């Protein structure tokens, strides 16, 4: 009750003096994972809620529609010739009324790939010609295959074929920046802008009057609250004080999902993402592939999918089938006898009598604690491994994953442009997206071959061979592929999911059809 009272105080603050009749088409959502550390698009790439906010505040060259297709948005046309893309920008303006230019796209992308940039996912741009060499400082920024030919024309040359490039352009990493060298963001070129922001509490967004497609923006505002307790958030939804509950912004517990299902309010959306339990291969106890495989073979994925991650599908290979078709049938099934054999084999390799206690870190999100407790109990019962649990706030946990400062921890991973290669490329080198800190020469070779392959069947074959190496080396434990479970205001329509699971509310509304 106290937490709900606090929310009502926030609601009054964020709404300000707005008239009650104007509140009817204001969307109210919750960020259970907490506030955003920044509004810079390069920083927002590592959070689903961050990607969702970026799509509301910024306009890239493309935007993902309700069918999951990439449509031109900031660009009015594109000419494609082999690996070369020439975009013509439509007339658009920043929230202060100044024009958006191709030079700002070029500068923003070069800033992301600067050797001195703190951009969270520069690797997503490595498919651009010379991008990786530029990031490493081996080539100058001017060698990057991105150039503004004039204020309204942007030329991009790729280093390899990419069937999902237009989808990637809808992600925050590809948004233009009004002042690329400034970390504090004050200018927005998307459908909405920030009106109020009470840090750690709430944020109000209002329509951007200078947005090129302003007439198609139907919401009068979007209120974002940071209620971290999922029970409180659910109670607020039940009281009609929030308009969305569930993934991606406010995950449901199993009990909440069952309650909504009984009331016939539960909605679902298959998403091409997987929950992986990352194993830090730099930790001595986890440096043996045999031990890592033993941990994987001792768990029951169906039990996890049925009783912890409600609605999910057991993942018995590293990547979801929808991203990379299965070649050899089921490969990761519970096998306690083999798990015990492999554990003994691994201990002998390391010269250990038994494993020291290992630490699982988990976030406050729904079901994460339950998974950690399941793993602790299962590994103790099946392999006599002692596990310690440590809760961390999600922003902290995500930062520690990127820095390799963990032993065992889990998170959802998905392709930003519906391409298995994008997920698999993360582990070809030591980088902030390679959480297990694992590299393997043969794997690098297979991924390199796949990235240059123009024949789709041969490309998939190479990727499947690389997936077999992931199964053999087990730098992470695949748990389940995901189905988003959620509920929302009965009149909400016009929102769009992208391939990674972020939601774009830019053209949503809570009003009836006009």
Mean pLDDT of the chain: 92
514 is a domain residue = no
pLDDT tens per residue, range 192-207: 999 999 999 999 999 9
pLDDT tens per residue, range 250-291: 888 888 999 999 999 999 998 888 999 999 999 999 999 999
Residues 44 and 107 in one domain: no
511 is a domain residue = no
Question: Mean pLDDT lowest for which of 4-18, 137-151, 297-311?
Answer: 4-18
Residues 115 and 47 in one domain: no
Residues 102 and 231 in one domain: no
**pLDDT at residue 49 above 80?**
yes
CATH number at residue 438: 3.10.105.10
Full domain range(s) for residue 107: 64-174
Question: Mean pLDDT lowest for which of 16-20, 43-47, 73-77, 334-338?
Answer: 16-20
331 is a domain residue = yes
Residues 68 and 46 in one domain: no
pLDDT tens per residue, range 83-97: 999 999 999 999 999
User: In this structure, what token pair is assigned to residue 260?
Assistant: 């909504």
Whose tokens are 């509310």? That residue is 505
Residues 444 and 308 in one domain: yes
pLDDT tens per residue, range 102-142: 999 999 999 999 999 989 889 999 999 999 999 999 999 99
C-alpha span between 506 and 213 (Å, rounded): 10
CATH number at residue 133: 3.90.76.10
C-alpha span between 432 and 275 (Å, rounded): 18
**pLDDT at residue 364 above 90?**
no
Residues 280 and 402 in one domain: yes
Residues 159 and 285 in one domain: no
181 is a domain residue = no
* Domains in the chain, number: 3
Residues 276 and 410 in one domain: yes
Residues 364 and 456 in one domain: yes
C-alpha span between 338 and 123 (Å, rounded): 37
Kindly state the greatest CA–CA separation across the chain. Answer: 72
512 is a domain residue = no
What pTM value is reported for the model?
0.85
The full DSSP string for 214-258 is: GGG---SEEEEE----HHHHHHHHHTTS-SEEETTTBPPPHHHHH
398 is a domain residue = yes
Residues 461 and 350 in one domain: yes
Residues 256 and 357 in one domain: no
pLDDT tens per residue, range 314-330: 999 999 988 888 765 55
Closest CA to 85 of 8, 33, 10, 147: 147
Helix (H) / strand (E) element for 47: namely none
């Amino acid at each position: 009750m106290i937490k709900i009272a606090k929310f009502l105080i926030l609601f009054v603050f964020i709404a300000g003096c707005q008239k009650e009749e104007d509140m009817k088409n204001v969307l109210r959502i919750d960020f259970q994972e907490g506030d955003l550390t920044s509004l810079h698009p390069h920083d927002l790439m590592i959070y689903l809620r961050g990607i969702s906010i970026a799509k509301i505040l910024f306009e890239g060259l493309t935007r993902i529609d309700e069918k999951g297709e990439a449509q031109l948005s900031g660009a009015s046309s594109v000419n494609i010739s082999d690996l070369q893309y020439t975009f013509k920008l439509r007339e658009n303006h920043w929230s202060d009324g100044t024009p958006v230019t191709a030079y700002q796209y070029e500068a923003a992308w070069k800033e992301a790939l600067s050797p001195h940039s703190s951009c969270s996912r520069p690797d997503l741009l490595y498919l651009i010609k010379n991008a990786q060499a530029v990031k490493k400082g081996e080539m100058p920024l001017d060698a990057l295959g991105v150039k503004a030919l004039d204020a309204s024309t942007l030329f991009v040359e790729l280093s390899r074929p990419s069937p999902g490039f237009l989808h990637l352009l809808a992600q925050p990493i590809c948004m233009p920046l009004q002042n690329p060298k400034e970390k504090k963001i004050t200018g927005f070129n998307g459908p909405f802008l920030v009106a109020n922001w009470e840090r750690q509490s709430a944020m109000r967004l209002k329509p951007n009057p200078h947005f090129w497609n302003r007439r198609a923006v139907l919401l009068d505002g979007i209120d974002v609250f940071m209620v971290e307790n999922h029970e409180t958030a659910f109670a607020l939804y039940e009281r009609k004080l929030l308009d969305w509950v569930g993934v991606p912004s406010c995950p449901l517990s199993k009990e909440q999902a069952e309650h909504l299902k009984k009331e016939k309010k539960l909605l679902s959306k298959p998403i091409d993402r997987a929950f992986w339990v990352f194993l830090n291969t730099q930790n001595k106890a986890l440096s043996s592939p045999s031990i890592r495989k033993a941990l994987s073979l001792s768990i029951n994925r169906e039990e996890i999918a049925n009783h912890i991650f409600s609605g999910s599908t057991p993942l018995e290979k590293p990547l979801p089938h929808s991203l990379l078709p299965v070649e050899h049938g089921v490969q990761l099934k519970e096998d306690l006898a083999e798990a015990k054999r492999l554990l003994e084999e691994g201990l002998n390799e390391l010269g250990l009598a038994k494993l020291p206690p290992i630490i699982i870190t988990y976030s406050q999100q729904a079901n994460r604690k339950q998974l950690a407790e399941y793993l602790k109990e299962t590994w103790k019962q099946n392999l006599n491994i002692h596990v310690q649990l440590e809760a961390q706030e999600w922003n902290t946990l995500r930062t520690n994953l990127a820095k390799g400062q963990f032993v065992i921890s889990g998170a959802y991973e998905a392709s930003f442009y519906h391409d298995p290669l994008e997920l698999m490329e993360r582990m070809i080198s030591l980088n902030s997206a390679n959480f297990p800190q694992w590299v393997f020469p043969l794997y690098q070779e297979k991924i390199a071959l796949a990235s240059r392959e123009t024949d789709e069947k041969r490309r998939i074959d190479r990727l499947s061979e690389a997936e077999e190496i992931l199964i053999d080396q087990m730098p992470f434990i695949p748990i389940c592929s995901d189905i988003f479970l959620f509920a929302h205001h009965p009149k909400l329509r016009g929102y769009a999911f992208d391939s990674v699971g972020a939601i774009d509310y830019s053209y949503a509304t809570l009003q009836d059809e006009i």
